[in-house]
Amino acid sequence: MAERTMAQALNAALAEALEDPSVMLLGEDVGTTGGVFRVTDGLQKRFGSDRVVDTPVAESGIVGAAFGLAVAGMKPIAEMQFMGFSYPAYDQIVNHVSRIRNRSRHRFTAPLVIRIPYGGGIGAAEHHSESLEAIYAHVPGLKVVVPSRPIDAKGLLTAAIADPDPVIFLEPIRAYRAVKEEVPDEVYETPIGVASIERVGSDVTLIAYGAMMKETRQAAELLAANGVDAEVIDLRTLVPLDTETILASVEHTGRVVAIHEAPRTAGFGAEIAAVVAEKALYSLKSPIARVTGWDIVVPLRRAEKHYTPGVDRIVNVAMRTMEA
Amino acid sequence: MAPDTATQIKMYRQMALIREFELAAMDLFKRGQIKGAVHPSIGQEASAVGVCMALDHDDLIVGTHRSHGHNLAKGASPERMMAEILGKDTGYCKGRGGSMHIAAFDTGSLGALGVVGAGNPLAVGAALAFQMRGERRVAVPFTGDAGTNTGSWHESLNMASVWNLPVVFVLEDNKYGVSTHIRDSTNIDDLSIRAQSYGIPGVLVNGFDVLAVYEAATEAVARARAGKGPTLLVAEAYRFEGHYAGEPEVYRERSEVAEHRKHDPLTHFRRVLVDTGVASSEELDDVDSAAKDEISAAIEFAKASPDPDPSTAMDYIYA
């Protein structure tokens, strides 16, 4: 065991995966520099430039080529530099990667992983900072995974690489180097589709994922100081969604707050709200609440703190659910 | 050098089969029996057959929205093709692809895609897999003239060139992207010169002449297989029918179509075969009527096939 940041944990998972000769990394600057966030640092040196490939700046081509590799029996991992840079590849992802299994009735599959750093953190606004995971969660045929901490990052990435279906692997930029924790040295998988109950509580369920777990954990501590016992769920996977864990918790607490930094309208919180409303409405003691980013373009650094939901907003909204 | 007699007869047979298939598909569409859309490749049979005859079974093709011909030329069964475009469970995609996403996967087709230009990166990736594993296989994406204005197409040529991949990019220049003539969307006359900006060979052939296409494709495939990298092969032809079956072709004069129909690839090849003594007119008549019979049987097969069971709708979304 060693203390690792999320970036180091992801690097370890990739290094272990590359021991399989069918695994390849493709992306802009993933080789020589180790990627803009240095997640692939040292891997090209260790595994060679034909296995860790610096590609042209051509996202549609990168994902399309990874798709072709996967269909032809390889296990490619493509990196998009920022979420906003993944949209040129959206055609490949939605129209082709997600559908080849259905189109070919299992004859061809696309077991590839597309790693996408997302969300705020570097303060560069717009496509370097946004959190549009819902546009991937909406696509049948894709799985969408979001780790919030180093230990899950390694296990989930290993599971994503082994998964027979295409996985959109979202890496929260703010969490890359925010904390270190003990991460096992051996190969292990954290199961896709299973949420984690990080804190057991009885009054209100806080549901979040990715970078927002940090504020959510802090909010739970503050709520406890105010006499409110919050249960904290880290979804870890958006698709397939662990509705069982969500519903069991809400049936127990009777209150729920869905939290994300993505814009509010049609954000993933709406899906959580819908699941709870459909399946656990009669357990609710107060209306379903959401704490989200605003329906605006992500602003520059000086205003990012106003955009990203803070601990105070989560606490306030959770306290309001207690008043009902 | 022309291929042997048997190969030439097979080429003619494949072209006749595609022609009959397309005529039948158009007819079924116009009578409302095929839903969705049908994009016939009539006039472009020579490029489908000339290219696919130059490939081995293990080589892969990637199609377009106009890919009935590509699949048939690669060896697809007309019965399962017809069943697919009629949306039947016995179709190649169990009725999930239809005309536009049809793919005879067991013959080495990676699928047909309705997004213009989008199939090219897929072929690049497959070729990269061949290269990584040391396999002497070739990937062949088909694209129309309009597709050469997409980013995906250019990204693919560039990547295949940089990585020296075994890809033959086949550009079937049928002159129109739906209603827009290539001269209104591209400022060069010879599309093969686009290869120059990627440092790869660009070859222009008469896409009405199956032997010319076959010869150029054979050379490009051999080059790719020998590890010498990709080629852009431009087969210049013409789309005799509308963009889709039943399209009111308001964008071109009937006289323009009639002029190009004088170069009909089937009529042309028939004349060549007779003139060079490869086959008699009577022998080719027999080939034509056999193709007609095969397509009639395919329609019967398709019509008698069951629809997909709606309860299987979720079966192919995830593993």
Q: Which domains does chain B have, with CATH numbers?
A: 5-204+213-305 (3.40.50.970)
Residue A72 has pLDDT above 90, yes or no: yes
Contact A140 B317 (CB under 8 A): yes
pLDDT interval class at A183 (50, 70, 90): very high
- Percent over 90 (pLDDT), chain B: 91
Predicted confidence (pLDDT) per residue in A219-265, tens digit: 999 999 999 999 999 999 999 999 999 999 999 999 999 999 999 99
* Residue scoring higher pLDDT (B152 or B37): B152
Count of CB pairs separated by less than 8 Å, A with B: 130
pLDDT greater than 80 at residue B1: no
> Per-residue pLDDT averaged across B151-177, rounded?
97
Which pLDDT tens digit goes with each residue over B217-276? 999 999 999 999 999 999 999 999 999 998 999 999 999 999 999 999 999 999 999 999
**Average pLDDT taken over every residue of chain B:** 95
Decide if B101 and A103 are in contact by the 8 Å CB cutoff. Answer: yes
User: A228 and A128 share a domain?
Assistant: no
**Contacts (Cβ under 8 Å, ≥6 apart) of A15:** A43, A46
Of A64, A70, A104, nearest to B105 by CB-CB distance is A104
β-bridge mates for residue A173, sequence order: none
pLDDT for A147 equals 98
A200 in any annotated domain? yes
Residues A243 and A128 in one domain: no
Q: Using CB atoms and an 8 Å cut-off, which of residues 288-317 of chain B contact chain A?
A: 315-317
Task: Compute the CA torsion angle B160, B162, B165, B169 (nearest 10 deg).
Answer: 30
Q: CA distances (Å), B204 to each of A107, A247, B172, B193, B250, in order?
A: 35, 63, 10, 9, 29
Note the pLDDT of residue B198: 98
User: pLDDT at position B194, please?
Assistant: 97
Distance from CA of B75 to the nearest CA of A (A): 17
Task: Give mean pLDDT, residues B99-117.
Answer: 87
Can you tell me the distance from the alpha carbon of A98 to that of A248, in angstroms, rounded to the nearest whole number?
31
The verdict on A32 and A176 lying in the same domain is: yes
Neighbours of B201 (CB within 10 A): 17
What residue of A is the nearest CA neighbor of B154? A61
Longest dimension (CA), chain B: 56
pLDDT of residue B128: 98
What is the average pLDDT score of chain A? 96
The DSSP code for A124 is B
Q: Which residues of B touch A24 (CB under 8 A)?
A: 132
Give the end of a domain, one of A144, A161, A183: A183
- Do A77 and A213 fall within a single domain? no
Q: What's the pLDDT score for residue A218?
A: 98
Please tell me the distance from the alpha carbon of residue A121 to that of residue A124, in angstroms, as a whole number. Answer: 8
Give yes or no for residue B105 having a pLDDT over 90.
Answer: no
pLDDT at A302: 76
% pLDDT > 90, chain A: 91
Domain hosting A319: range is 196-323
Q: How far is CA A321 from the centre of its chain?
A: 27
Pairwise CB contact (< 8 Å): A64 & B124: yes
**8-state DSSP, A291:** E
Of A3-17, B283-297, B302-316, the least confident: B302-316
Residue B101 identity = H
Check residue B43 and give left, alpha or beta (phi > 0: left; psi -120 to 50: alpha). left
Last residue of a domain, one of A183, A209, A241: A183
Mean pLDDT of B59-78: 96
Number of domains in chain A: 2
Token pair 């169990």 is found at: B94
| Boundary (domain end) residue, out of A183, A207, A233 | A183
Percent of chain B predicted with pLDDT > 70: 100
| B71 part of contact set with chain A, CB < 8 Å | no
Whether B189 has a pLDDT exceeding 90, the answer reads yes
Residue A60 to residue B155, Cβ atoms within 8 A = yes
* H or E element in which residue A23 lies: strand A23-27
The CA-atom distances, in angstroms, between B289 and each of B23, B27, B40, B50, B177 are 14, 18, 20, 22, 33
Q: How far is CA B228 from the centre of its chain?
A: 24
